[in-house]
Structures are given as C-alpha cells and as structure tokens.
C-alpha cells in the first residue's frame, strides 16, 4: 500500500465525512459470507479503521440486504445498460453480435468472469479480493467506466479535495483484469 489507512481516514475527516467506528473482523466476515465476496485489502483496512457514513457511502453496518445487493449489482447493470442503449462494446470483446439480446448475453458472460467491484462511494468501486493492495478505484456509470483514483488515497484526495492529486489516475493505476480494459477504451 502506497499510503496508510490513517492518511485516508484523516483526509476523510478533514473533508467533513462523518466517520463511525470501524467494523470488526466478525462484521466483515458476516457481510462477506452473506453476499458471497471478500473485501479487497484496501477496503477491508479502511472499514476496520472507520465506517464512512452519509451522502453516497454504503452503510455496511445498517444497510438492508436489498440495498447491498443492489449496489453490488450496479456495475453490471451499468455496463449492460451501455451495451443495450449506448452501443457500448469494448474492442477486446471482439465483434459485437448483431442481435441485441445476444450482445447482452455475451456482455453478461464477460461480466460474470470479471472481478467483482464492491461499492465504495456513489458510483465508485474497489475490486473485491483477491485484489492487490493499492488497487484503483473505478467509476462505473451507464456505458462508461473510468479510473477515478489510482488507489484509495488518490480517490479521497481527488473526490474530497483533500490535497493535490498526483496526476492522471488511469496512468498510475495498477491493472485490474477486465475493468482496466474498459476504463482504457
């Protein structure tokens, strides 16, 4: 990790983000078991240190199961929406099927084999484990995927104005299968 969790928590606090006590390891394991994923190392470390609340943060402690599932599903829905209505089709996927339903099926197959993205803030996500420390933060909107932080610290710096950003997040970000390709298209 090119930053400490203390840096991130301090930057969030300075930006006025409300922070609750962190989740316990038992809390994290319960969430992971219930929803079938493991938090990546950066998100796990942040959530152990503090639980950001308000605005577009997901309250992992009190959100309903339906809300968590909806937020976990949102990146897939955004890509499928782009495939369906905006002709979103990465070159790496090969030729786009002429039939719209076939294109959506193929996109869903690609998404099912891709690393899961876990909600961080609004439409910004971190990859689930086995992600590396220092993984990029991805913004996923209908028909658009981008890197909005080279890592968690960079994301907080850029999103919350907690100091100057290091430059182009995409240029400095670690590569995450599938999502980095979509962000670089």
- For 22-40, the pLDDT digits (tens) are 999 999 999 999 999 999 9
What pTM, to 2 d.p., does this model score? 0.90
In a domain, 135, yes or no: yes
State the pLDDT at residue 163: 56
Average pLDDT over residues 9-15: 93
pLDDT at 173: 81
The string of pLDDT tens digits covering residues 84-132 is: 987 788 888 889 999 999 999 999 999 999 999 999 999 999 999 998 9
Whole-number average pLDDT of the chain: 90
pLDDT of 66 strictly over 90: yes
CATH number for the domain including 19?
A: 3.40.1580
Indicate the number of domains in the chain: 1
Residue 170 confidence (pLDDT): 53
pLDDT in tens, 135-171: 999 999 998 899 999 999 999 988 988 655 555 555 5
pLDDT at residue 46 is higher than 60:
yes
- Residue 82 falls inside a structural domain: no
pLDDT score recorded for residue 149: 92
Angle between helices 25-35 and 65-85 (to 10 degrees): 50
Instruction: Look at phi and psi of residue 54 and say left if phi exceeds 0, alpha if psi is from -120 to 50, else beta.
Output: left
Q: With 70 as the cut, is the pLDDT of residue 2 above it?
A: no
Q: What is the mean pLDDT of residues 69-85?
A: 94
Q: Which domain holds residue 23?
A: 5-72+113-183
Number of Cα atoms under 13 Å in the Cβ half of residue 128: 15
Kindly tell me if the per-residue pLDDT of 1 is higher than 80: no
Does the pLDDT value for residue 76 go beyond 50? yes
Q: Is 16 domain-assigned?
A: yes
- Is residue 80 in a domain? no
Is 89 inside any structural domain?
A: no
Q: Is residue 170 part of a domain?
A: yes
101 within domain boundaries: no
């Amino acid at each position: 990790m090119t930053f400490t969790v203390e840096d991130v928590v301090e930057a969030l606090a300075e930006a006025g983000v409300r922070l609750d006590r962190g989740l316990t390891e038992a809390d994290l394991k319960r969430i992971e078991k219930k929803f079938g994923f493991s938090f990546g190392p950066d998100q796990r470390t942040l959530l152990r240190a503090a639980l950001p609340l308000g605005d577009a943060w997901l309250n992992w402690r009190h959100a309903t199961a339906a809300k968590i599932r909806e937020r976990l599903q949102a990146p897939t829905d955004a890509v499928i929406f782009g495939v369906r209505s905006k002709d979103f089709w990465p070159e790496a996927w090969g030729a786009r099927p002429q039939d719209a339903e076939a294109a959506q099926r193929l996109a869903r197959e690609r998404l099912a084999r891709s690393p899961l993205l876990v909600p961080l803030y609004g439409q910004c996500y971190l990859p689930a484990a086995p992600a590396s420390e220092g993984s990029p933060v991805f913004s996923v909107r209908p028909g658009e995927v981008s890197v909005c932080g080279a890592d968690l610290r960079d994301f907080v710096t850029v999103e919350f104005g907690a100091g100057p950003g290091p430059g182009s997040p995409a240029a400095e970000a670690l590569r995450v299968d599938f999502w980095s390709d979509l962000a670089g298209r």
